[in-house]
């Protein structure tokens, strides 16, 4: 009698998690951790965007039956009494540090119907292989002790853990972790308050990578990023070549000073209207959009030739019948990214008919993740919070304001974003005048590089600033490592101390 072996075999695959797995992952969490919060879609999306290699799952016959999440950290930056929220940035892992020395596991789970199949072992082995590939010193996990609930009336958490270690008691998590080569280092109270089964406790366990090759330094003492912000004077010009020459001059200056980024102001290309015959503002803006190919070609060549990342202000772009105000990022490796302005001012809507964009971008660069928020956008704190959730540490604000009140709205809000999110913000605006150009006849600006407000940063939280209303540049180094340390040990820790149990900010999918 013939036997169909396909009815007996199972296809087990260990693979990276994908955003399409979200519903299965949440269902798995509900089965493994009943009564505890599940991942929000934004948390999983953030994990996959920031560290996709650290998010893995086990699939059997197309069904996700086990998964794990992790990030890389510099373990020396965290105290012995750290919490799950602190070490995982509440599950968003925006504190992931590719230069760190430790793979930190923030979740592992196996479907109860599939336990006994060594699926946890497969995940731990995948984590160990990742640690070897990345030359990480260790893997650290904050493990649950769900079996403690049945014994908490007669045993302290310490006594319970000791009995599990001595194999007198069995814990479904700790026993498995010990069997997979992890060593108990300490017990942490108040690690995860929502874990009632463990009474909030966690066991800090470590696996040591014996293949680790020590670096010369166990941590990165400094990660400087040099920023050049251009306070650009709007003056009449005869043709595009004059505009190109003026822009190249500033890029050359930034390159000579070995800047990593140069930031130009918003609506930079409206200077071209000084030689175009445009009587109606709406038609003038659409005429500017015709220069998009020349604009893109100019700045992409400058970024590569001068070895500097350029935020080339903003420029009008036509898509079909719609007009957008778009900031472009020209990377020095030749890549181009763009961010549409999301909040359109009444002036832009009335004079030019500008439409708002609907996507919040965070850009990966050779000097970390950045966000671009065009002028009015920085006045809406939700955007910065979402961008920093996604790993941005630098926010660039090209702006164009006609008088002091408008400028101060941009300035004060930029400084507030620095404090709220513990990030750096660079702002760059236009000065001068274009008397013959409607809605661009006068300008007011004081470009600056701004910091959080604490002892390790500049006095008044201003790293550097230009003289108001004078064409100039400001160049300054900001240190991303100082920023990281301030987030974990500053006088106040605004980013860590958010009350996400009371409120949260969620970016909706683009329509």
The residues assigned a catalytic role are: 266, 341, 375
Sign, Cα dihedral of 492, 497, 499, 503: positive
The two structure tokens encoding residue 510: 């683009």
Whole-angstrom distance, CA of residue 267 vs CA of residue 229:
15
Neighbour-count burial of 403, counting CB atoms closer than 10 A to its CB (0-12 exposed, 13-18 middle, 19+ buried): exposed
Dist. CA 203–CA 162, nearest whole Å: 11
3-class SS at 303?
helix
Nearest-angstrom CA–CA distance, 19 and 12: 20
Encoded tokens for 161 = 């853990």
CB 440 within 8 A of CB 455: no
Helix residue spans in 398-442 (DSSP H): 404-421
Structure tokens that stand for 427 in this block: 């702002």
Continuous H helices in 143-239: 157-165, 174-179
**CA 491/CA 271 separation, integer angstroms:** 45
Name the helix (H) or strand (E) containing 164: helix 157-165
What's the rounded Cα separation, in Å, for the pair 107 and 76?
Answer: 21
């Amino acid at each position: 009698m013939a036997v169909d072996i396909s009815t007996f075999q199972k296809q087990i695959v260990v693979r990276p998690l994908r955003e399409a797995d979200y519903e299965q992952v949440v269902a798995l969490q509900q089965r493994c951790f009943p009564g505890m919060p599940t991942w929000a879609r934004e948390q999983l999306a953030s994990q996959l965007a920031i560290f996709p290699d650290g998010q893995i799952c086990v699939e059997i016959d197309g069904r996700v039956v086990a998964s794990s999440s992790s990030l890389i950290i510099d373990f020396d930056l965290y105290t012995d009494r750290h919490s799950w929220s602190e070490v995982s940035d509440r599950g968003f892992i925006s504190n992931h540090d590719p230069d760190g020395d430790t793979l930190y596991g923030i979740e592992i789970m196996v479907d109860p119907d599939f336990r006994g199949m060594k699926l946890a072992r497969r995940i731990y082995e995948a984590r160990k292989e990742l640690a070897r590939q990345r030359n990480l010193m260790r893997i650290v996990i904050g493990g649950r002790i769900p079996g403690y609930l049945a014994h908490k009336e007669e045993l302290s958490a310490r006594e319970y853990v000791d009995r599990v270690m001595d194999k007198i008691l069995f814990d479904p998590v700790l026993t498995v972790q010990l069997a997979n080569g992890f060593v108990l280092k300490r017990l942490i109270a108040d690690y995860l308050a929502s874990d009632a089964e463990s009474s909030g406790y966690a066991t800090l366990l470590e696996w040591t990578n014996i293949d680790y090759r020590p670096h010369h330094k166990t941590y990165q003492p400094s990660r400087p990023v040099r920023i050049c912000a251009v306070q650009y004077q709007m003056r009449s010009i005869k043709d595009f070549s004059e505009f190109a020459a003026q822009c190249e001059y500033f890029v050359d200056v930034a390159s000579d000073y070995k800047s990593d980024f140069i930031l130009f102001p918003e609506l930079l290309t409206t200077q071209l209207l000084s030689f175009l015959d445009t009587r109606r503002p709406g038609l003038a803006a659409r005429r500017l959009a015709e220069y998009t190919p020349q604009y893109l070609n100019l700045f992409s060549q400058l970024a590569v030739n001068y070895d500097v990342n350029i935020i080339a202000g903003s420029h009008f772009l036509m898509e079909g019948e719609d007009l957008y105000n778009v900031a472009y990022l020209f990377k020095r490796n030749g890549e181009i990214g763009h961010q549409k302005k999301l909040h359109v001012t009444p002036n832009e809507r009335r004079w030019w008919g500008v439409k708002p964009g609907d996507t919040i971008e965070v850009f990966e660069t050779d000097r970390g993740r950045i966000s671009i928020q065009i002028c009015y956008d920085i006045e809406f704190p939700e955007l910065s919070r979402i961008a920093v959730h996604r790993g941005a540490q630098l926010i660039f604000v090209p702006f164009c304001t006609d008088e002091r009140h408008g400028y101060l709205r941009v300035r004060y809000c930029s400084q507030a974003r620095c404090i709220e999110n513990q990030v750096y913000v660079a702002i760059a605006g236009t000065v001068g005048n274009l008397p013959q150009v409607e809605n661009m006849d006068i300008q007011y600006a004081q470009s600056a590089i701004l910091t959080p407000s604490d002892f390790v940063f500049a006095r008044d939280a201003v790293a550097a600033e230009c003289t108001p209303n004078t064409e100039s540049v400001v160049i300054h180094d900001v240190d991303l490592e100082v920023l990281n340390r301030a987030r974990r040990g500053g006088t106040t820790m605004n980013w860590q101390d958010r009350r996400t149990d009371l409120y949260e900010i969620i970016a909706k999918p683009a329509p």
